[in-house]
Structure formats: C-alpha cells, structure tokens
A and B are shown apart, each in its own frame.
Chain A
Amino acid sequence: AQKVTQAQTEISVVEKEDVTLDCVYETRDTTYYLFWYKQPPSGELVFLIRRNSFDEQNEISGRYSWNFQKSTSSFNFTITASQVVDSAVYFCALSEAGDMDTDKLIFGTGTRLQVFP
C-alpha cells in the first residue's frame, strides 16, 4: 500500500534558523516520484521539487535542499536560514508510475512551519 508520513505536525523556528521537514514513504512500485509542495496561507499549493526513484542525488536550490534516501524511504526537506516568508504548510507527496492515465498524488498530512521574526 502507498503511504506518505509526515510525523511533524507543526514546527516553530526563529528567523535564520535551519529547519528540516521529515517525510517517509511506502510503496511497492520500483518506479515512483516524490514531490514537495508548499501551501501558503493563500491556499494555492506550489510545486517545489520532484525526485524520481532512481535518482538519489541530493538537490540544492538556494536556501532549499532535499535529501532522498531509498534505504530509509525518506525524502527530507531542509530550509537553511529560514525567513518569515517560508511560513506555510509543506506537503510531501508520492506518485507511482503504475497509473497510465493520471499523475495521481498521495499526500502526507503536511507540516505547518511557522517562522517568527
């Protein structure tokens, strides 16, 4: 069965602190994709990154970095030097290659990040 677990319901940090959001997934597919989305207070989910199951290279984009480890089925997201604008709910999601007519996402329950000035 497919499942995404984000154990951290809410995290609060002070601006400029680093913060890591955890994501653990379950799937039986050998080909799958992992995503992170950001949902600011305005409500719209914004795509941040996609990783495929065959690419375990870590990725860095500005203050954001992602650590994908198949051995632990984890896809963690780190924000370096957090800013108030990073305050949002962050969702980790899984998509499996088995569906031919959709890119269906299985979402975790989200982590609410609050960054205080």
Chain B
Amino acid sequence: DAMVIQNPRYQVTQFGKPVTLSCSQTLNHNVMYWYQQKSSQAPKLLFHYYDKDFNNEADTPDNFQSRRPNTSFCFLDIRSPGLGDAAMYLCATSRDPGRGYNEQFFGPGTRLTVL
C-alpha cells in the first residue's frame, strides 16, 4: 500500500542534543510537509517542500531545519532541542499543488521527548 512512513515512532533526546526525524513516502507526491503538534493542540505547519523548493513558515524557529534529498525522503533536523520542542511531529504529502484542492496524506508521527 502506498503510504507515508515516519521513523522512529518515538524519539528521546537530551536538551541541546541535535536530533533528526525522518519521513519517507511511496505516493510519489511532489509536496511534503512537516507539522508540529503539541498535546491537545492543532497541528502547526513548520515548513513544506514543493519538489526541491523549500518554504519556511514565518514563525518557524531557526532551530528547525529540513532536508529533502529526493522525492521520497524528507528529514526534520532540530539543532538544539529545548524542552518546549517536545511534541508529536507529523509528516504529510500532497500531489502537485492544486491551489488548496488536494488532501494531505499523513504519516503516523514521531513523538519527541526532550529530557
């Protein structure tokens, strides 16, 4: 089945220790998104890639970076995690941009704990 895969499902890191979360997709979608979702809150878009073009949301902290080496993979790097970065991180994809039309397909998320 075509899908969005996130690894690991659970990640524990120490305060200030860099961490990388990964996302892969078999849907061959051109757009990939990273969201941060804190407990009992809505997902918050951090950034997205349209093909290789990176688009950062205005309020995404510099501490968060992303890489997309190819169509299938996208990585979220947190350079110096703080306690406030503990959250669920969701990866999503959509087809070629449809001016708001296309639904997004989500992975199961990675729950990040910062000690």
Q: Is B27 an interface residue (CB 8 A)?
A: no
Q: Is B97 an interface residue (CB 8 A)?
A: yes
Q: Is A33 an interface residue (CB 8 A)?
A: yes
Given the complex of chains A and B, what is the CA–CA distance between A52 and B99 in angstroms? 11
Q: Chain A residues with Cβ under 8 A from B105's Cβ?
A: 47
Q: Is A14 an interface residue (CB 8 A)?
A: no
Which residue of B is nearest A48, CB measured? B103
When the two chains form their complex, are residues B42 and A102 in contact, meaning their CB atoms are under 8 A apart? Answer: no
When the two chains form their complex, are residues B50 and A105 in contact, meaning their CB atoms are under 8 A apart? Answer: no
When the two chains form their complex, are residues B100 and A33 in contact, meaning their CB atoms are under 8 A apart? Answer: yes
Could you say which interface size class chain B belongs to?
20 to 34
When the two chains form their complex, are residues A103 and B108 in contact, meaning their CB atoms are under 8 A apart? Answer: no
Point out which of B45, B99, B106 has the most chain A C-beta atoms below 10 A from its C-beta.
Answer: B99
Which residue of B is nearest A29, CB measured? B100
Given the complex of chains A and B, what is the CA–CA distance between A110 and B48 in angstroms? 22
Q: Chain A residues with Cβ under 8 A from B103's Cβ?
A: 35, 47, 50, 103
Which secondary structure dominates where chain A touches chain B?
A: loop
Q: Is A55 an interface residue (CB 8 A)?
A: no
When the two chains form their complex, are residues B48 and A45 in contact, meaning their CB atoms are under 8 A apart? Answer: no
Q: Is B31 an interface residue (CB 8 A)?
A: yes
Q: Chain B residues with Cβ under 8 A from A95's Cβ?
A: 100-101
Q: Which of B53, B90, B94 has a CB less than 8 Å from the CB of A103?
A: B94
When the two chains form their complex, are residues A102 and B48 in contact, meaning their CB atoms are under 8 A apart? Answer: yes
Contacts of B70-115 to chain A: CB distance below 8 A: 88, 90, 92, 94, 97-109, 111
Q: Give the interface of B toward A (CB within 8 A).
A: 31, 40-43, 45, 48, 50, 53, 55, 88, 90, 92, 94, 97-109, 111
Q: Give the interface of A toward B (CB within 8 A).
A: 31-33, 35, 37, 42-47, 50, 52, 91, 95-105, 107-110, 112
